[in-house]
Amino acid sequence: MISIIIPSHNRRDLLRSLLDALAAQQAGTPPFEVIIVADNCRDGTQAMVAAYQAPFPIRLIEQPGVGPSRARNAGVAQASTDLLLFLDDDVIPTAGLVAAHAQAHQDGTGRAVLGPYPPQPHGSGSHFRVLMRRWWNAHFNELGSPGHRFVYSDLLTGNLSLPKRIWEAVGGLDPQFAHAREDLELGVRLMKAGVAFHYAPDALGWHYEYLTTSPRSILRRTKEEGRSDALMALKHPDMGAALKAARQLRRKGRGAKIRYGVLRRTGLIDRPVIAMGPRLLSLLEGMGLARARQRMDNILREYCYARGAIEGLGAHYCSFRAQPLPAIAPPDMAIDIADGIEAAENQLTTHRPESARILYRGEEIARLGWTPVAERWSGHHLRPYLAKRAAARLVPLLLAESMQDGHAVDRISPMALHMLWTNDFSAQLHETYWQWGGGMMDLQSCNK
């Protein structure tokens, strides 16, 4: 029923662990085949797969180092089922992963199902490792939060399933995105085709990123991300406002012109920067200079990203810089939640706007912003969005009305408002003293 496609490059031992985990899937898991695309593997991967005693059909395809997008396309071409499941070779599935993906497709609606693959717990105090874990955990926590609004960049191919007919309809992965952003660019086309995204928390895999990523590999990838973002801006001009490469390279002014004019000519130092940069970061961290390390890390990444973007544009560089960023459209509609939150949700679900103004008794408290290539706003997005983004304006209005017999007041204590979102006990204790101790005594003194 399912074709599991795994591109791999010189990760024989991790790949064996992945196959062991697939062999141990829970009872009742639908039958599946495994297609491994060995992309220029020179570590014995082919021999390991050939000797592996699998309880499922397993096939091996060899590629001459063409990158993950071409490797996945080659795997799909050999798939014999209607449901595709993509796994990275450093993602070890839990026992229920395959069944959870199959369950998410049972209604036959045709969607892209995103499974989580947070970092495998691993003890390390390294600044780099902490930041990597933080990013991955934050990403999947956001996908699982109530009312999450999906955008194209939510789609990652490390743990993804979708029907083969949808893959073929949008054309699979674009080979020009050879080493980065190939999944995000696929997400753009899926969104534009109206394919729904679905998050399946039970389709869990563990990402052994601590074995496969390093500061040096991240700098190399950052350069590839800059290159791919530039290509994406050329392929999808409407996304200019969402892509960092487009925003940066289209900056006006003499400073930006000089900066990028210099960067166009620094290609010879790219390799030394990527090779020596991590050593400098390690030295700063070892000296306890955390802030200096963070600043240097940002400088190195910005350099690599800009260099990749410039290389990606190539001959299009000058014409690309001369173009303005796409204009952001004004909000499609205005909704006043004073008429009832359910009525506001129904309006959003009915109209599905790209953006909207949210009012309370005529006063704007939030904007449901326009985002290039994103799910249109719907009713189930509203309450979580208001809780996260508009509480600072909405809560005081509601409190003021309840305390002033329904008549809104203009002034709310900034300190009291700040304390609504403060969890620190000492700060709360200080505020309590100010209100019921020193603050009340000061008021009594003024009255006397």
Residue 236 confidence (pLDDT): 93
Residue 39, beta-bridge partner list: 63
33 backbone dihedrals φ, ψ, rounded to 5°? -115, 160
Q: How many CB atoms lie within 10 A of CB 114?
A: 28
Count the residues in the chain: 448
Looking at residue 38, the DSSP 8-state letter turns out to be: E
Highest mean pLDDT among 81-85, 144-148, 235-239: 81-85
The predicted model scores a pTM of 0.85
- Give the CA angle between residues 442, 446, 448 to the nearest 5°: 115
Statement: residue 408 has pLDDT above 60:
no
The model's confidence at residue 366, banded by pLDDT at 50, 70 and 90, is: confident
Statement: residue 425 has pLDDT above 80:
no
Mind listing the pLDDT tens digit for each residue in 17-26?
999 999 999 9
Min mean pLDDT across 27-36, 242-251, 384-393 is at 384-393
Residue 327 confidence (pLDDT): 76
The H-or-E segment that residue 59 falls in is strand 58-63
Rg (alpha carbons) of the chain, rounded to whole number: 26
Terminal-to-terminal C-alpha distance of the chain: 83
Residue 429 confidence (pLDDT): 53
Q: How many CB atoms lie within 10 A of CB 165?
A: 11
Mind listing the pLDDT tens digit for each residue in 62-83?
999 889 999 999 999 999 999 9
Statement: residue 409 has pLDDT above 60:
no
Min mean pLDDT across 153-157, 188-192, 320-324, 412-416 is at 412-416
- Domain residues of the chain, as ranges? 2-211, 216-322, 333-412
Residue 418 confidence (pLDDT): 47
Report the pLDDT averaged over residues 402-428: 49
Question: Coil, strand, or helix at residue 282?
Answer: helix
The model's confidence at residue 372, banded by pLDDT at 50, 70 and 90, is: confident
Residue 272 confidence (pLDDT): 95
Report the pLDDT averaged over residues 194-219: 95
Residue 162 confidence (pLDDT): 97
Residue 370 confidence (pLDDT): 87
Residue 442 confidence (pLDDT): 44
Residue 443 confidence (pLDDT): 40
What percent of the chain stands above pLDDT 90? 66
226, 238, 240, 254, 372 from 246: Cα distances, Å: 10, 11, 5, 17, 13
Min mean pLDDT across 156-165, 186-195, 423-432 is at 423-432
| Cβ proximity of 113 and 101 under 8 Å | yes
Report the pLDDT averaged over residues 131-143: 92
Task: Tell me which residue of 390, 409, 388, 384 sits closest to 399, measured CA to CA.
Answer: 409
Which CATH superfamily does the domain covering 2-211 fall into?
Spore Coat Polysaccharide Biosynthesis Protein SpsA; Chain A (3.90.550.10)
Looking at residue 151, the DSSP 8-state letter turns out to be: B
Residue-averaged pLDDT of the chain? 87
Report the pLDDT averaged over residues 191-205: 96
Residue 182 confidence (pLDDT): 95
- Give the CA angle between residues 392, 383, 341 to the nearest 5°: 100
Report the pLDDT averaged over residues 135-162: 94
Statement: residue 394 has pLDDT above 90:
no
The model's confidence at residue 415, banded by pLDDT at 50, 70 and 90, is: very low
The model's confidence at residue 328, banded by pLDDT at 50, 70 and 90, is: confident
Residue 325 confidence (pLDDT): 79
Residue 446 confidence (pLDDT): 44
Statement: residue 276 has pLDDT above 90:
yes
Looking at residue 327, the DSSP 8-state letter turns out to be: P
Q: Which two tokens stand for residue 324?
A: 């303005």
